[in-house]
Copies of this chain bind each other. A is one copy, B any other.
Amino acid sequence: MGKAGLPVSPLAPASFPDLPVIGGVEFASGAAGVKYQGRTDVTLIRIAPGSTLAGAFTKSSTRAACVLDNQAKLAEGGEAPEGAAIIVNSGNANAFTGARGQESVDAVTGAVAEAMGVPAGRVFSSSTGVIGEPLPHDRIVSVIGDLASALDQNGAADAARAIMTTDTFPKGASATFDGNGGQIRVTGIAKGSGMIAPDMATMLVYIFTDAKISAPLLQQALDEALPSTFNAITVDSDTSTSDALILAATGRSDTAEITSLNDADGRAFALALAEVMRELAHLVVRDGEGATKFVEVRVTGAMDEGDATKVAMAIANSPLVKTAIAGEDANWGRIVMAVGKSGAVADRDMLTIRFGHLVLAQHGWRSPDYDEAQASAYMKNAELLIAVDLGLGQGARTVWTCDLTHGYIDINADYRS
């Protein structure tokens, strides 16, 4: 299903999950031929009146028109008394397309507003794909009527497929928990496999819940979950101009309103949301372009969290570390190199480096327990843990990444053609 018939990532889950229906959310997907042929490339999502909204977006200074438009609309507030809609296309990012970029956003969101009877200020849009090519928005507009009449509560899986670019599998995740008076559901879909590095986000993500929760509290729950989820993954250190996460709460569950994130209900909601976000973030790494290894980098003992983040990201983004992992080489010397270049306070003689349960280095040198055969055997796993303890303080950070393989070069050396 990926571009050019890429094989499905070896790190993909066995199947797309059964996602619980969220009352008040409907999906429709279709083929507008924006760029791809023979597959769906547009998704329309309707969100019921009375829902609340929150969002997080790329911090790129060259972000796309649709991102700027979404941010401006959410800045007006997260309430949607007359409902809201999301329209997404794949194949073209409508990024760096000058004034024409905003014209395309206005054309598409205006057409959705008209077809669905939703205020244009509550129609959000995303475009993903090639940068710098004008978006043929007429093709998208021409299918909106058909999509509006095909909306379906069970359409999330099809939507997850329609928004893919170089993704090799569709991504979905959910969580369900008992709220005060009934069950609460959280369901999300995402796309993304390259140009993945934090600062929010690095992909498109749409998450829905039937919880009753105010827009500011919804935004707070989202913001609190970002550092340990979407801002804790990196495939190639490159950050997209187009990435967006939109979160909607329809309030259709039978539960009481969540009025705080600190009581039992609020904590349960925050936990479920973070769980869905972490699962989707992991799926993006598992579909990292060319990835054959899913790697957790766990840094502890740093002077503070900032230093822990520097070290974790220096390791997770190092081409030399990532190629060694691809080669199943337990080259812990490159971990030492990455710690050294990170800019964090580090003391060579206090470092401990573990791969899984194996201690490779400590006290400034190779561990006396080091066993090359054991280390090499460990590297053959598809899921790896690299743990670094700096031995200096309480700062900790965990991030996730993948290896750097020939597949990454294959995909990216000729993406546009």
Contacts and interface: CB of A to CB of B under 8 A. Distances in A.
B238 A323 contact: no
A61 interface: yes
Interface in A46-88: 58, 60-63
Given A96-B364, A332-B132, A413 B62 contact: no
Interface centre among A58, A97, A341 (most CB of B within 10 A): A341
Interface in A129-171: 130-134
A345 B323 CA distance: 32
A413 B329 contact: yes
B415 A324 contact: yes
Interface stretch (A10-18, A175-183, A215-223, A403-411): A403-411
Given A236-B320, A336-B95, A409 B413 contact: no
Interface residues of A, number: 70
Interface stretch (A118-126, A247-255, A346-354): A346-354
A15 to B, nearest CB: 30
A329 B318 CA distance: 24
Given A340-B241, A415-B329, A351 B409 contact: no
A336 B99 contact: no
A366 B327 contact: no
B132 A333 contact: yes
A346 B100 contact: no
Contacts of A130: 333
Contacts of A417: 329
B341 A197 contact: yes
B238 A318 contact: yes
Interface in A208-254: 236-241
Interface in A304-326: 317-320, 323-324, 326
Contact of A96 (B197, B239, B317, B336): B336
Contacts of A349: 98
Given A98-B349, A241-B337, A61 B412 contact: no
Contacts of A338: 238
A24 interface: no
Nearest to A242: B337
Nearest to A366: B132
A357 interface: no
A340 B327 CA distance: 32
A97 B349 CA distance: 10
Given A97-B365, A320-B236, A331-B416, A61 B346 contact: yes
24 contacts: A61-B340, A61-B345, A61-B346, A61-B348, A62-B340, A63-B340, A95-B336, A96-B366, A97-B366, A99-B364, A100-B365, A130-B333, A131-B337, A132-B333, A132-B365, A195-B337, A237-B318, A238-B318, A238-B341, A319-B404, A319-B412, A323-B412, A404-B409, A409-B409
Interface of A: 58, 60-63, 93, 95-100, 130-134, 194-195, 197, 199, 236-241, 317-320, 323-324, 326-327, 329, 331-334, 336-342, 344-349, 351, 361, 363-366, 404-406, 408-409, 412-417
The 9 tightest CB contacts between A and B, nearest first, are A131-B333, A327-B413, A98-B365, A62-B340, A60-B340, A323-B412, A239-B341, A132-B333, A98-B364
Given A195-B320, A327-B413, 14 more contacts: A61-B345, A62-B337, A63-B340, A97-B364, A98-B349, A132-B361, A134-B366, A199-B341, A237-B318, A239-B337, A239-B341, A323-B408, A323-B409, A329-B414
